[in-house]
């Protein structure tokens, strides 16, 4: 996504705290209680040395896309945050990621399922390709029930990444569909929405939004 294509340096805790408040206000403007939506700070392009600024600003949950960086950053700052994995989950990385995180957002392959039997995670979200995009990771909605049933660890909810669009409203049908699927399967967590479209995602029921630029700039 466009929000994660540059590195962030010299982060200012006061600015981040103000941005967090603006995010919560935007969530409230959409009719949601901000306390019901977790803000996961995406740290793919935030160096380990910058992470204490996030903690000082009030960030409590971070998400990393890359297994190696997750382990390195967590080794330095494990106690500062809850840690989630939000990137593409490669089966060969499950053994490293699973014990290091609160939640994996991106389970979407049979090979990763097999690895979770040997290296269980506390909880996972299943990534769903709600838009049916060719070549995009995610379980097809019609295959979701069987996939959840086969999962050897607790499935807490669903995640999706809709097609990129300049207009955030273009993502609304995809977020609404994910919420429908979660309800059908009795799942509570919905990880959806980024800097581009998080107010729309929250209004459609997101319980976790994954934010980068909107927090740091």
Query: Dmax of the chain from CA atoms?
Result: 46
Instruction: Name the band, by pLDDT with cuts 50, 70 and 90, for residue 9.
Output: confident
For the cut 50, the answer to whether the pLDDT of residue 4 exceeds it is no
pTM of the model: 0.94
Instruction: Count up the domains in the chain and report the number.
Output: 1
What's 45's domain CATH number? 3.20.20.10
What is the residue range of 108's domain?
2-216
For the cut 70, the answer to whether the pLDDT of residue 5 exceeds it is no
By the 10 Å C-beta count (0-12 exposed, 13-18 middle, 19+ buried), 59 is classed as buried
pLDDT in tens, 33-72: 999 999 999 999 999 999 999 999 999 999 999 999 999 9
Q: Which residues of 32-51 are buried (b: 16+ CB within 10 A; e: fewer)?
A: bebeebbbbbbbbbbeeebb
- The confidence score (pLDDT) of residue 103 equals 98
């Amino acid at each position: 996504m466009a929000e994660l294509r540059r590195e962030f340096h010299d982060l200012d805790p006061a600015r981040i705290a103000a941005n967090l408040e603006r995010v919560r206000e935007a969530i409230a403007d959409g009719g949601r209680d901000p306390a019901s939506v977790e803000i996961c700070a995406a740290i793919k392009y935030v160096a380990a040395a910058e992470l204490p600024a996030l903690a000082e600003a009030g960030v409590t949950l971070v998400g990393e896309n890359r297994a190696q960086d997750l382990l390195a950053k967590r080794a330095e700052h494990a106690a500062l945050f809850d840690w989630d994995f939000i990137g593409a989950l490669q089966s060969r990385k499950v053994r490293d990621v699973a014990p290091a995180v609160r939640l994996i957002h991106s389970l979407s392959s049979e090979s990763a399922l097999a690895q979770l039997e040997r290296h269980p995670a506390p909880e996972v979200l299943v990534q769903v390709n709600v838009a049916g995009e060719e070549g995009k990771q995610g379980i097809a909605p019609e295959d979701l029930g069987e996939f959840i049933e086969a999962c050897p660890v607790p499935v807490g909810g669903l995640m999706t990444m809709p097609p990129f669009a300049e207009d955030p409203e273009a993502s609304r049908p995809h977020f609404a569909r994910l919420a429908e699927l979660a309800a059908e399967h009795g799942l509570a967590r919905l990880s959806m929405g980024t800097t581009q479209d998080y107010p729309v995602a929250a209004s459609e029921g997101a319980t976790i939004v994954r934010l980068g630029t909107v927090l740091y700039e």
